[in-house]
Structure 1
Amino acid sequence: MVNITEIAPDLFRLSVFAAELNMQFNHFLVRDDKPLLFHTGLKGMFPLLYEAVAKIIDPATLRYIAWSHFESDECGALNEWLKVAPHAEPVCTLIGKLVSVDDFSDRPAKGMTPSDVLETGKYRYRFYPSPHIPHGWDAGVLFEETTKTLFCSDLFHHFGDTAPLTSDSLIEPTQHGMQLLQQGPLAGYMPYTSQTEGVLRQLANLKPETLAVMHGSSYQGAGDQLLLDLAGVIQQTFDQRAG
């Protein structure tokens, strides 16, 4: 089952709850002249997500398919989407394109830097590199400049079958989620480095008003303060020097 919620104008959250993990997998569809999908989902989720997208647009009209970093829930079903959307172009960070995606993908990717602008019609996007935040050298976050929406991937990851959108702070559930992950087999899943706070401050300077979160509720409000607070949570949980 896919729960569909319009969390901002033309921005749809397509959520699949995996009860065995107590975790949502969220995918975001932008309805515009050149539709954009952020997160392809796992291969096994493709049939469900295809049906969900088809309720909003014709999947064949997808023009851009984007994600943060090379990981199965981020881009595992990329080639399945490329088969049904003949004009779709993969979009990721330039590092992602160079080190992984062009070998994996059936179609070359558009590798973006912050100086590049992607226009879908009404909306304008830039990709900001965020190495190892949340994961991987290739990680980045996508920012839509018109509505000030930050597609932040695993940042603010929290557990549960949560509300699609909230104005409550995400810091407490995020901190709880990180503590659970740090105690289990995924310990160290988000390293804290000397660059972590600086990267999050740069993202905070964008002053996002909507945070499109992959695992858990999305957020509307002062996203800049949440990003600044998140730096402290990551340091407290994952800074090995503190141990």
Structure 2
Amino acid sequence: MAAVDEISPDVYRVNVMTDPDLDFTTSFFLIRDEAPTLVETGFRRAFDETYRAVSELIDPATLRYLVVPHFEGDESGALNGFLSRAPHSVAVCSPIGMAVNADLADRDPMVVDGDSELDLGAHRLRFLITPYVHTWESMLPYDPTTGTVFCSDVFIGPDGGHAITEADQTDHMIQMYKSVGIFPSRAHLDHALDKIEAVHPRTLACHHGSVKAGRIGTYLQALREHDVTGVTEWNPMLEPTDRPR
């Protein structure tokens, strides 16, 4: 059953366990406002579960924006499910996302770039364009009204049953990235970290793991100081006991 937690005023984390053996979870986020917005949608296969969770907070038919940081099963798999239930909703993606993945949405997406801003009511959304972090079309939305960066696959960590943490999970984060190799380029990662640091986030709303409500500088420094880019031999089909931890 999806867990729902408020992580900042009217911003909710909807979380589903992905891999209990690794304490690995997947989250997306609902901003409850005049223009209700989802950041990420979760997996298509989990749509019924996550739709019920969203229904606890709003009428999903009133959703206006479905923000896609990048097109991937866990980030956008349920996109068309939500589009079909919310007749006035629109997917939101980066310019590269529109160029290469627009066909994945049943309605034409809205394109945003680094100068765009969505007025949701009490909240606003702006966008950090961060190619190859970790896919070509990646972008990271942020809400300057709450200081929240929706950081997608940056700052991955364990969940441990905690929606929000102020603990230092950098060791786990670095080990995970070295194991799976989702960042192809040091230059692209540094470019993204520069953009994140420049908006002075107070909260890192992670797609995988607990939301980070403290030690923001520590996480940024850890990714700058450790080489977590390049090719690995990660095999997602390994048995749990053989997986890197």
TM-score w.r.t. the length of structure 1 is: 0.89
Query: Match for residue 106 of structure 1?
Result: 106
Structure 1 letter corresponding to 2:208: H
**Local SS of the residue matching 1:238:** coil
In structure 2, distance between residues paired with 1:132 and 1:93: 12
In structure 2, distance between residues paired with 1:21 and 1:76: 22
Query: Match for residue 41 of structure 2?
Result: 40
Deviation of the 1:147 alpha carbon? 0.8
Deviation of the 1:77 alpha carbon? 1.1
Query: Match for residue 2 of structure 2?
Result: 2
CA RMSD of aligned residues (A): 1.7
In structure 2, distance between residues paired with 1:164 and 1:73: 18
Structure 2 residue runs of 5 or longer lacking an equivalent are 232-245
TM-score w.r.t. the length of structure 2 is: 0.88
**CA deviations over 1:167-213 (Å, ceiling 9, x no partner):** 1233222113223xx2xxxx432223323213212211110001100
Query: Match for residue 149 of structure 1?
Result: 148
Query: Match for residue 203 of structure 1?
Result: 196
Deviation of the 1:222 alpha carbon? 5.0
Pairs aligned (count):
230
Question: Which of 210, 218, 227 is matched with 2:220 structurally?
Answer: 227
Q: Percent identity?
A: 34
Structure 1 residue runs of 5 or longer lacking an equivalent are none
Query: Match for residue 229 of structure 2?
Result: 238
1:190 lines up with 2:183 in the alignment:
yes
Whether the 8 Å CA contact 1:205–1:224 is kept in 2: the answer is no
**Local SS of the residue matching 2:6:** strand
In structure 2, distance between residues paired with 1:169 and 1:111: 36
Matches within 5 A, 1:22-171: 22-100=23-101, 102-133=102-133, 135-171=134-170
In structure 2, distance between residues paired with 1:122 and 1:222: 26
Whether the 8 Å CA contact 2:26–2:208 is kept in 1: the answer is yes
Whether the 8 Å CA contact 1:162–1:216 is kept in 2: the answer is no
Deviation of the 1:21 alpha carbon? 5.4
Of 69-78 and 155-164, the range deviating more from structure 2? 155-164
Query: Runs of 4 or more off by more than 6 Å in structure 1?
Result: none
C-alpha spacing 1:93/1:170, structure 2 compared with 1 (3 Å): farther
